């Protein structure tokens, strides 16, 4: 690791700490040439698959792009950012578990819809209307019927 102050490659690790989640390591380093200290961080870099769009083009997976789509669907809904981040973590975990170099955008869309259904029904319908390209009211009705829970009959007291 080069020193950011003098660019000398000889540095020494003075202290190492893991964060609470255990996914990042913080290291305090000291430059042996100029004696200045600095901090570095280590994180696991997951290799997520390339996304194959409907038109056949390929693009890198973007968590920010996916999060923006989910945030738009959940706009003005009572869902906190931590829940959205957790949903994105679950999606990324599933993508890593696929162990494929490429994944169809439709597959990612289905994973997003599954997570949105867990988070908020209105957000799910908003996302589904764009993702599935609803063209009439019947398609909205079908999607709403899909998420409606069957009601249990009320017992009447006689």
Number of domains, the chain: 2
What pLDDT, on a 0 to 100 scale, did the predictor assign at position 21? Answer: 73
* Domain contains 25: yes
Claim to verify: residue 75 and residue 23 sit in the same structural domain:
no
Checking 5-9 for CB contacts under 8 A at 24+ apart, the result is 5/31, 5/34, 5/36, 5/38, 6/31, 6/33, 6/34, 6/36, 8/32, 8/33, 8/34
What pLDDT, on a 0 to 100 scale, did the predictor assign at position 149? Answer: 62
pLDDT digits (tens, 9 = 90+) for 29-64: 999 999 999 999 887 777 889 999 989 999 999 999
Claim to verify: residue 102 and residue 33 sit in the same structural domain:
no
- Domain hosting residue 22, numbered range: 11-43
What pLDDT, on a 0 to 100 scale, did the predictor assign at position 112? Answer: 92
First to last CA, the chain: 80
Claim to verify: residue 66 and residue 114 sit in the same structural domain:
yes
The pTM of the full predicted model, rounded to 2 decimals, is 0.60
- Residue numbers in the chain where pLDDT is lower than 70: 131-144, 149-158
Answer for the pair 52, 101: CB distance below 8 angstroms, yes or no.
no
* Domain contains 3: no
What pLDDT, on a 0 to 100 scale, did the predictor assign at position 22? Answer: 77
* Domain contains 113: yes
What stretches of 74-156 show up as alpha helix (H) in DSSP? Answer: 81-98, 105-119, 121-131, 137-147
Per-chain mean pLDDT for the chain: 86
Claim to verify: residue 87 and residue 120 sit in the same structural domain:
yes
* Domain contains 154: no
Claim to verify: residue 15 and residue 61 sit in the same structural domain:
no
* Domain contains 153: no
Claim to verify: residue 94 and residue 137 sit in the same structural domain:
yes
Claim to verify: residue 68 and residue 38 sit in the same structural domain:
no
What pLDDT, on a 0 to 100 scale, did the predictor assign at position 55? Answer: 93
């Amino acid at each position: 690791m080069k020193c950011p102050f003098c660019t000398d490659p000889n540095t020494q690790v003075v202290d190492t700490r893991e964060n609470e989640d255990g996914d990042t390591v913080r290291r305090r380093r000291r430059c042996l040439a100029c004696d200045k200290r600095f901090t570095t961080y280590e994180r696991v870099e997951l290799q997520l698959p390339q996304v194959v769009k409907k038109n056949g083009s390929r693009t890198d997976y973007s968590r920010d792009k996916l999060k923006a789509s989910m945030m738009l669907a959940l706009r003005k809904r009572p869902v906190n950012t931590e829940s959205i981040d957790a949903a994105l973590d679950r999606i990324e975990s599933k993508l890593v578990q696929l162990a494929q170099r490429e994944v169809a955008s439709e597959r990612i869309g289905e994973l997003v819809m599954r997570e949105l259904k867990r988070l908020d029904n209105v957000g799910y319908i908003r996302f589904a209307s764009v993702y599935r390209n609803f063209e009439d009211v019947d398609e909205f009705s079908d999607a709403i019927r899909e998420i409606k829970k069957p009601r249990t009959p009320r017992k009447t007291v006689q």
